[in-house]
Amino acid sequence: MKSTRRELKQLGKGLAFLSPWLFGYIALTLLPLGMSAYFSLTDYSPIQQGGPQYIGLENYRELMTKPRTAAPGYGDPHFWTVVRNTLYYAAFALPIGLALSIALAMLLNLKVRGQAIYRTIIFLPSLVPEVAAAFIWLWMFNSKLGLINLSLTHSWPIIGPLLKEGPGWLTDPNWAMPAMILMSFWGVGNTVVIFLAGLQDVPRELYEAAEIDGASTLRRMWHVTLPMLSPVIFFNLIMAIIGTLQFFSIPQLMTQGNPAEATRFYTMYLRDSAFVFMKMGYASAMAWIQIVIILLLTIVAFWSSKRWVHYQGK
């Protein structure tokens, strides 16, 4: 009996120490999730009288129905536009960004003079606040006075004679998304540092064994470096899936979705639905669809990891 009382006392102390976190988790995570799930089944605007009106799955039906095949009153063309834009961005920014990060990490792992300086140069852009980075790239992408177009048009005799003027990076719908993808590589420094840490954990004995077997540099990279780096690649892949599908601040600051909705992403439309159009129920349904998409892609990534992720000692 004494032992039980002591255990209960220890449990009470433990819960007391955990209570701030538990309260925050319940109040700021579980409760908003539950309210969002309920609101997604309602027609709700904060400024309307009468509170949320239950409508079942009508919000999901309107979102998931393509306008061309929808009944009158259903189908949201903006929804499918932002889905296409977001997937387009993720399909290019994610794999190219990971490949670029791995390549830079391998270069920075070489023993060369000025190694610390090169590492600092690569990492510094990731420390720049997103607002400042957005304004820097607004100038870089300026079609008349931007550094990129000035470099292209004055790169005589290589490219300059072929261009009368540079691309309208943020004014031409055909160039706006490539501009967003190009800018995404600005902040790869964080990912490079993680890959660099992973590279330094690769056992030197494996490289020596591969050299004895006569493996070339390319084969050592393919059969030693990448397999040993695969857990780090997997971690960065999961983080990149979440990040690219929630891309928001940079396009919101730079283009607000223009030109012609070419840079309007899923999270931007979700935010507009909630706080501009005041359609909280509709926005909640969009949020849950986004969660499901990210969850499904994460599950696929975990399922496929059994075939290509290798852990030391296994």
Q: Domain spans of the chain?
A: 1-34, 76-308
DSSP string, 263-311: T--HHHHHHHHHHTS--HHHHHHHHHHHHHHHHHHHHHHHHHHHHH---
Rounded to an integer, the average pLDDT of 79-88 is 95
Computed over every residue of the chain, the mean pLDDT equals 90
Q: Which of the four pLDDT bands, split at 50, 70 and 90, describes residue 66?
A: confident
Mean pLDDT of all residues in 139-148: 90
What pLDDT band is residue 145 in, cutting at 50, 70 and 90?
A: confident
Cα distance between residue 53 and residue 286, in whole Å: 17
Burial call 190-218: b when 16+ CB within 10 Å, e when fewer:
ebbbbbbebbeebeeebbeebeeeebeee
> pLDDT tens digit string along 21-44?
999 999 999 999 999 999 999 999
Q: Which residues pair with 302 in a beta bridge?
A: none
pLDDT, tens only, 180-210: 999 999 989 999 999 999 999 999 899 989 9
The CATH architecture one would assign to domain 76-308 is Orthogonal Bundle (1.10)
Beta bridge partner(s), residue 56: none
